[in-house]
């Protein structure tokens, strides 16, 4: 890049700084800083071409978060209307047979109810599914069209709200801190499970349905003491971080949202297929996010398995379902109502003086019960009956359990052995009440001093946070971020399916940008949290790039996939030729 062009680019960057940083009188970045950050090896030949577009994008989105106004293609409007009825009108015992493209309902079949179905054995469930497939074939012959079926979800959604309302505002807050629409956090929690105690056929667990390997890769604790996938607050945070990374990968909100359901492999294929089609058709004008996604839902989703992988009908409509759940959740449980259900508690991240001496959650519960019984007896001036003591015991069990869903011991004594066995197998017998290092334990606010005095001999400077109802949800966003600017430059490269050109050096440069941002003065708490989370996302991204480079993912496997797509398109054209001649 010639000196004049480079200088013009830096002047444009300084112009952005003049519009943003000066407003809050934060520490100003010098031209030397920008030069230093934008001339890392491997950057100047590629990323500098894209930074001007990044500046325009960031100028147009100052103060706004991601996924705030996610637009879907008009073809998914019927899907939204269909799923709105499924969540508000039909219960689990109603099986709806419909056209998967037009969402026209053909038949409604009466089946077993939700509670009865979940109590059935695996073979009984298989028999019911086989019966539904038989009915589907009959309906298909009758209407001479494509037919799919789905169960109503009104009662599932009601059960989901009952189980999750205690945590939804904190899930919303976890998303807001990352700079993502908080309503999306509540909606995914409902759409993924509708119940906290859900294990998918692939053994994904919890509100946000994480597989064990993925959870550990992200940094969640999953062992025989703690499974943080069961904690809605923690799994919400990692879901938000993942969505932020998916957005950096695809620069498309509907695709990023769908990736949470369908997985990276399928979305990579969808993304590369769509860019290939755009190139083949000679489309030069940049498509909007919904126009890009339209090609995925209308064309890619109906390709042979060899092209679309396991991107099926549910993947096609997942973003529409999430939008419906966002609307329903916002209407039924707006933030001001959710606040009333929030608990007040103390969160303690455990650090031990001696790793061999760990906190025993069983002991904590027993001590807590004794304390509450003693307080009650002192207050009443009499010895409590066995029945009264058992009532207090159940109350304290429930209180500690609701605050600490990640504790497998509390899950077990709460009667969830069947649920635990469904994904742990005989490992359920190895559950220990000894809480893992760096795990988080929560106790009611009024028990803070008692807990710290009782167990301080075990703990080494634990991280203690107090959660009160006065804490308000504020969308995290930095007024100006050098890291955001440089990361957006990387995204502009990826928009063109040039993922192989993004290097570890580039992301290290983005990381340095965010570290520099964090050194600036006058940062509010939401701004600081946003930048810390952004730094985490970039590091997650960099780790993935290293793994993908080692596996030759972009330069070999995806190139082979594109060759397969090209052959499929040629085959389609050949099959079309006879009909064209007619």
Mark whether 178 and 144 lie in a shared domain: no
111 and 258 belong to one structural domain: no
Pairing of strands 440-444, 148-151: unpaired
126 and 176 share one domain: no
Is position 560 within any domain? Answer: no
Instruction: Verify that 366 and 333 share a domain, yes or no.
Output: no
Beta strands (DSSP E) in 327-420 are 345-349
Q: Are 205 and 230 in contact (CB under 8 A)?
A: yes
Domain that holds residue 105: 100-150
Say yes or no: 532 and 462 in one domain: no
Q: Which of 430, 429, 451, 438 is nearest to 365 (CA)?
A: 451
The model's pTM is 0.85
| Domain end residue (candidates: 421, 441, 467) | 467
Same domain (yes/no): 205, 295:
yes
Between helix 264-280 and helix 289-298 the angle, nearest 10°, is 100
463 Cβ partners below 8 Å, 6+ apart?
348, 349, 351
Residues 6+ apart with CB under 8 A from 393: 369
| Residue 9 sits in the same domain as residue 55 | yes
Angle made by CA atoms 318, 324, 327, in degrees to the nearest 5: 145
Residue 373 in contact with residue 392, Cβ under 8 Å? Answer: yes
Residues of the chain with pLDDT under 50: 1-35, 37-46, 62-63, 196, 580-582
Within-domain flag for 81: no
Cross-strand pairs, 407: 226
In a shared domain, residues 116 and 201: no
Say yes or no: 139 and 57 in one domain.
Answer: no
Closest to 47 measured CA to CA, from 550, 536, 482, 539: 482
Domain containing 282 — which CATH number? Answer: 1.10.530.10
Based on the fold, state whether residues 40 and 12 are members of the same structural domain.
Answer: yes
Could you tell me if residue 559 is inside a domain?
A: no
Tell me, what DSSP letter sits at residue 436? P
Considering the domain boundaries, does residue 90 fall inside one? no
DSSP-derived secondary structure for 443-492: EEGGGHHHHHHHHTTTBSS-EEEEE-TTPPP-----SS-HHHHHHHHHHH
Question: Facing residues of 202 across strands?
Answer: none
E-assigned strand segments in 189-310 = none
Residue 576 lies in a domain: no
Domain ends where: 317, 341, 365?
341
Task: Specify the residue for token string 């050098």.
Answer: 482
Residues 350 and 328 in one domain: no
In a domain, 129, yes or no: yes
3-state secondary structure of 109: strand
Residue 183 near residue 191, CB atoms below 8 Å: no
Domain limit, last residue, from 341, 370, 399: 341
Q: Flag whether 78 is in a domain.
A: no
Within 8 A by CB and 6+ apart from 549, the residues are 504
Q: pLDDT for 303-360, tens place per residue? A: 999 999 989 888 999 999 999 999 998 888 887 788 788 888 999 999 999 988 999 9
Domains of the chain: total: 4
Q: Six-digit token pair at 522?
A: 């006058």
Is 48 contained in some domain?
A: yes
Six-digit token string for 215: 């959870």
Same domain for 378 and 429? yes
Question: Token digits for 62?
Answer: 């100052």
């Amino acid at each position: 890049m010639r000196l004049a062009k480079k200088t013009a680019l830096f002047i444009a960057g300084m112009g952005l700084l003049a519009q943003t940083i000066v407003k809050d009188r934060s520490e100003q970045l010098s031209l030397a800083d920008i030069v230093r950050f934008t001339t890392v090896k491997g950057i100047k030949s590629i990323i500098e071409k894209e930074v001007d577009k990044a500046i325009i994008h960031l100028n147009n989105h100052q103060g706004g978060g991601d996924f705030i106004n996610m637009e879907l293609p008009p073809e998914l409007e019927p899907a939204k209307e269909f799923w709105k009825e499924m969540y508000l009108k039909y219960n689990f015992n109603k099986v709806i047979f419909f056209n998967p493209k037009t969402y026209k309902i053909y038949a409604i079949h009466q089946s077993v109810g939700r509670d009865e179905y979940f109590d059935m054995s695996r073979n009984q469930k298989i028999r019911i599914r086989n019966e539904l497939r038989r009915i589907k074939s009959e309906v298909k012959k009758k209407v001479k069209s494509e037919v799919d079926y789905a169960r109503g979800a009104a009662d599932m959604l009601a059960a989901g709200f009952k189980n999750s309302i205690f945590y939804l505002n904190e899930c919303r807050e976890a998303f807001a801190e990352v700079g993502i629409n908080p309503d999306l956090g509540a909606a995914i929690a409902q759409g993924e499970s509708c119940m906290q105690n859900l294990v998918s056929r692939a053994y994904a667990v919890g509100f946000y349905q994480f597989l064990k390997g993925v959870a550990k890769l992200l940094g969640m604790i999953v062992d025989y003491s703690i499974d943080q996938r069961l904690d809605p607050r923690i799994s919400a945070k990692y879901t938000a971080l993942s969505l932020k990374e998916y957005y950096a990968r695809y620069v498309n909100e509907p695709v990023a949202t769908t990736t949470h359901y369908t997985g990276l492999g399928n979305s990579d294929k969808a993304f590369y297929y769509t860019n290939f089609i755009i190139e083949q058709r000679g489309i030069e004008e940049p498509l909007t996010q919904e126009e890009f996604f339209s090609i995925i839902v209308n064309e890619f989703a109906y390709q042979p398995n060899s092209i679309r992988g396991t991107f099926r009908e549910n993947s096609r409509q997942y973003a529409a379902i999430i939008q419906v759940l966002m609307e329903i959740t916002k209407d039924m449980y707006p933030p001001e109502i959710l606040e009333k259900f929030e608990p007040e508690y103390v969160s303690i991240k455990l650090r031990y003086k001696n790793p061999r001496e760990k906190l025993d959650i069983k002991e904590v519960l027993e001590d807590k019960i004794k304390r509450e019984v003693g307080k009650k007896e002192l207050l009443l001036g009499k010895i409590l009956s066995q029945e009264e003591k058992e009532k207090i015991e159940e109350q304290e069990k429930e209180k500690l359990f609701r605050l600490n869903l990640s504790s497998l011991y509390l899950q077990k004594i709460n009667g969830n052995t069947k649920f635990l066995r469904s994904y742990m197998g005989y490992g359920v017998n190895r559950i220990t009440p000894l809480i893992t290092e760096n795990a988080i334990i929560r106790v009611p606010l009024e028990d803070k001093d008692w807990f710290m005095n009782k167990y301080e001999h075990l703990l080494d400077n634990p991280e203690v946070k107090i959660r009160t109802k006065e804490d308000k949800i504020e969308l995290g966003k930095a007024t100006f971020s050098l890291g955001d600017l440089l990361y957006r430059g990387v995204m502009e490269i990826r928009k063109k399916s040039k993922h192989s050109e993004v290097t570890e050096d580039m992301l290290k440069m983005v990381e340095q940008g965010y570290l520099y941002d964090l050194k600036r003065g006058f940062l509010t708490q939401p701004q600081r949290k946003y930048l810390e989370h952004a730094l985490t996302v970039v590091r997650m991204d960099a780790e993935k790039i290293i793994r993908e480079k080692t596996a030759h993912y972009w330069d070999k496997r995806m190139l082979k996939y594109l060759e397969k797509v090209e052959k499929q398109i040629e085959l389609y054209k050949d099959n079309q030729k006879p009909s064209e001649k007619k």
